[in-house]
Structure 1
């Protein structure tokens, strides 16, 4: 058909009876017929042609991964059964001198030791890229060659590389307020998990308590080693665990000195301390202020139960009672003197007891010898 059309074109051009415009028109018609004939021949090629049974399929054509993590391009390819795959390669699309070109990953130094072909030479063409960087974002293509033909994917995999952004809402709360943790990225991610100071957080929404203050960061589940930058949650609360430390343990004698120090956990820190003393009756007296109560020379009137009240702008709390007992006699010194006296007396009497015991033993020995002689 094509040969006949070509001969007809030559005949038209050589016929002087046909005018020049008519020749041009007839030439165009026959040229179109020639193109149609070529197209028909192409379409009517048998099933074993190059275009049949050839395909490349990407299961996740638009993956999104966190910077520093890894990503897998799940891929499969097909070709006629009578063919055998001999060569495979992955490419990345890049603009070079204004032209879009496909560069083999094996020719890009930054992918050395970071890309791994997970597929085979049959139908699996999956690829993994590790330790993702911002420059890894872009279009990726796959190509394979058999004994006779080569095929490259028309479609592509577009990789997005993102960074995790952790947010705490609100950043500063009072104990009892609700806190929401949000982990964002420039594209949708799978399930995210949270950590506080290295320990897992069970829920991203909770009622804040004093112990919830700290640094929080998020990660993608299954890739916990790649984490967001930390964000700080500030939980404010009134004084807790108020306690009093006494510089002198035990009983106090008149004229001795003692210091009482008050401490507490609070956010913001306690800015006011008040001291009270209870004398056993229902009356309570304010006896000082400040974190340390100094009693340089105590007397009997200082005996009683002491309480420290710690306060910040959010509230106040009291310590447990601490008992101070002041006596006129230094009992400990008396006990020490008595003990020394007992030891001295014991040391003086011990030789007498030893001498007396030795004499009794000697007398008993002499009596025994005398009886033996009489028996003989």
Structure 2
């Protein structure tokens, strides 16, 4: 099975109900049968298989199988190029990893294998049903003059996640319930966003609880991978209800946000361009591997400062001129969008 390797640090390991279907020594075991996980994350479809005799010659995963038509190996499907990693073997392990999940990856995945014996082909029904969802804050009017908020998904996330809440870019609370524990003030300046613990960079868009003029920051890209020595543009848009008195980018590892234009480590290599009405951009030139970090944006008005805990854009800088990530062409000095 020819699958390309892709880099990602966000992995969902799932152990649940085992499903086995087989006869006469043939079987495929899926653990679990169904998974609901986040758009942009990585999932492992844990799988094992058995057969009575012979040597396995071919292994592959597929999603569709029409009558009289052989199923298509996902490893040969251009739609999955750079997104699949086969972690199995030709003995008993058939685990598949799918990276940088997209909502269109929602499907039922099945494993098949062929041996060198007569009639030595097996299709592993029923497969694993994968549902991919994004997070969204949904508001409900509450009495008096308050609003209830829920971190909404199109399916129930597997593994009982912990939800994280942000108010105006600042960490607010954590809970195992997708609904925030208290009604929130319907202040038209306030925005709320949610994330799942362990996947903070996959947070929902910030949502106003009243009207559409609240404080909020929206990052253009979640993660970027570029080559050492090149130039990168990291951008966002932001809304300040009142006139902005200052705005700058900083590295999230700093205990106190420090304007990158005043950081000696970036001297002569950092430039800000744009306004909140269009992308406000951080440009870093002559990139170094030590520039790899999460970059966040903050702004101030005369009575407000955007919170520092809201996840930003993660930059990875590599000196490898071959392949750092399978979806990055090292001949193209440009950003890779995850």
| TM-score normalised by length of structure 1 | 0.42
TM-score (ref. length: structure 2): 0.46
Highest CA radius of gyration, 1 or 2? 1
Greater fraction helix: 1
Q: Which has the higher contact order (CA 8 A, sep 6+)?
A: 2
